[in-house]
Amino acid sequence: MNKMLYMLIFSTLLFSSTDAEQDEVAYVIKPQFYDAESFSDGLARVKKDGKWGYINKEFLEK
């Protein structure tokens, strides 16, 4: 339930901004995952192609 609420709030904020504001958006994680959770101990759980896995902070530097 909390994930649904966060996704609703995030999508509302994302789509409510103007085009000029969206040009200034910098992604922390490139939008390539279906779902992503917060980093903990240097790892974040992500979902892609129906499978869950982990990425570390070095992944963000690529």
Encoded tokens for 12: 């509302």
7: pLDDT strictly greater than 90: no
pTM score over 0.85 = no
User: From the CB of residue 33, how many other CB atoms can be counted at a distance below 10 Å?
Assistant: 17
d(CA 41, CA 38): 10
Q: How far apart are CA 47 and CA 26, in angstroms?
A: 21
Structural domain spans, the chain: 2-60
Residue 58's pLDDT is: 78
Rounded Cα–Cα distance for residues 18 and 22 (Å): 6
pLDDT confidence of 2, banded at 50, 70, 90?
low
Q: What is the pLDDT of residues 10-54, one digit of tens each?
A: 666 555 555 555 567 676 766 788 898 888 998 999 999 999 999
pLDDT at 62 over 80: no
**Local structure of 1: helix, strand or coil:** coil
pLDDT of residue 14: 58
